[in-house]
Amino acid sequence: MLRRPDLLTLYAILFVLFLYGPVLLMPLFSLNDSTFATFPLKGLTFRHYADMAQNAPMMAALRNSLVIASVVTLASTALAIPAALALTRFRLPGAAPIVSFMMLPLVIPSIVIAVALLVVILKFLGLALSLWTVAAGHVLICLPFCLTVLMSRLEGFDPSLEEASNDLGCTPWQTFRRLTLPLAMPGVISSLLLGFIISFDEFVIAFFLTGTENTLPVYLFSQLRFPNKLPGTLALGSLILVGSAVLVILAEVIRKRGVQSDNAGDI
């Protein structure tokens, strides 16, 4: 009776260590006064952070990734909102195949998508590779995620809410702006965050479709050959870790608020 919970506790601790241990080593070594990421620790320093800020190519890659992720998530969410509305509001003929079709990028390996897009962009469209082609590829893979998040949010509505808004004198566009969008806002924010993180972190498509400029994942991969560059990478990684934690907490707070206002919609 006593041993079983002990074993389970041990399992849980190991599980958490396995999940987060490697990630948590990163901020640890980023503060260690040594070029090499090894124990024993030598002492506390912030010089890796200073080096990182001085590293112009790395900062350029970071800026590229932030810009691409922002553009991509805005575009995918903007594209997904009307699609989610159409699929949840109307009885469209062939709605099920349309949804499956839009979800397809989820299950196609990104290497396949990357090669296919490369061929299309170079051979059929005759465009030069650039950050814009990366962004276009990212919109393709973010769209199904944004669509799923938005559809699950929009499906819960009482359809008479929109009828009531219409009845009270709103045109369909006013109803969207004053009722549907505010009610869908927690879903929209989740969609924006999800799209941002997926694009920011994506490697394969960015690697294939980028031109002369790098996104951050591609740049970091290229720097792994130089051990002395590693601490700067660790410093940047730690900052991104903190940034993502803040974003996730923010998203969760907003989602909780959304759940509260949802309960008000139940009748």
Partner 1 sequence: MTSAPPIITLQGITKRFGSLTVLHDIDIAIARGEFFSLLGASGCGKTTLLRILAGIEQPSGGSLLIDGQPMAGVPANRRPTNMVFQSYAIFPHLNVAENIGYGLRNQRLSRSEASARVAEAVALVKLDGLADRNAHQLSGGQRQRVALARALVCRPKVLLLDEPLSALDKKLREEMQLELRALQRSVGITFVFVTHDQEEALTLSDRIAIMEAGRVLQLDTPRGLYERPASRAVAEFIGTMNLIPGRVAAVAGEAVRFDAGRLGHLDGRAGAAGLVAGGAAFLALRPEQLRLERAAGTAEAGPGRSLSGHVAEAAFLGDRIHYRIRVAGLDRAIAVFVNNAGGVAVHPLGAPVSLDWDAGAGLVLPA
Q: Using the rule CB under 8 A, which residue among 2, 96, 107, 267 binds partner 1? A: 267
The identity of residue 48, as a single letter, is: H
| DSSP code at position 125 | S
Q: Which residues are CB-contacts of 19 (< 8 A; sequence separation ≥ 6)? A: none
CA–CA separation, 193 and 160 (whole Å): 30
Least distance to partner 1 from the beta carbon of 30, Å? 43
Least distance to partner 1 from the beta carbon of 164, Å? 4
Residues 148-167 within binding reach of partner 1 (CB under 8 A) = 158, 160-161, 163-167
Judge whether 198 and 141 are in contact, CB under 8 Å: yes
**Piece in contact with partner 1 (CB under 8 A), picked from 24-32, 69-77, 119-127, 258-266:** 258-266
Q: Using the rule CB under 8 A, which residue among 39, 174, 247, 250 binds partner 1? A: 174
Question: Which is nearer to partner 1, 93 or 126 (by Cβ)?
Answer: 93
Question: Which is nearer to partner 1, 28 or 168 (by Cβ)?
Answer: 168
Helix 216-223, helix 230-265: angle, nearest 10:
150
The identity of residue 184, as a single letter, is: A
Least distance to partner 1 from the beta carbon of 177, Å? 11
Judge whether 215 and 206 are in contact, CB under 8 Å: yes
Q: What is the DSSP string of 44-112?
A: B--HHHHHHHH-HHHHHHHHHHHHHHHHHHHHHHHHHHHHHHHHHHS--TTHHHHHHHHHGGGTS-HHH
Q: Using the rule CB under 8 A, which residue among 170, 240, 241, 251 binds partner 1? A: 170
Question: Which is nearer to partner 1, 107 or 267 (by Cβ)?
Answer: 267
Least distance to partner 1 from the beta carbon of 151, Å? 19
Residues 177-196 within binding reach of partner 1 (CB under 8 A) = 178-179, 182-183
Q: How many residues bind partner 1 (CB under 8 A)?
A: 24
Task: Decide if residue 63 touches partner 1 (CB under 8 A).
Answer: no
Question: Which is nearer to partner 1, 213 or 262 (by Cβ)?
Answer: 262
Per DSSP, the three-state class of 266 is: coil
CA–CA separation, 202 and 65 (whole Å): 10
**Binding region for partner 1 (CB under 8 A):** 158, 160-161, 163-171, 174, 178-179, 182-183, 260-265, 267
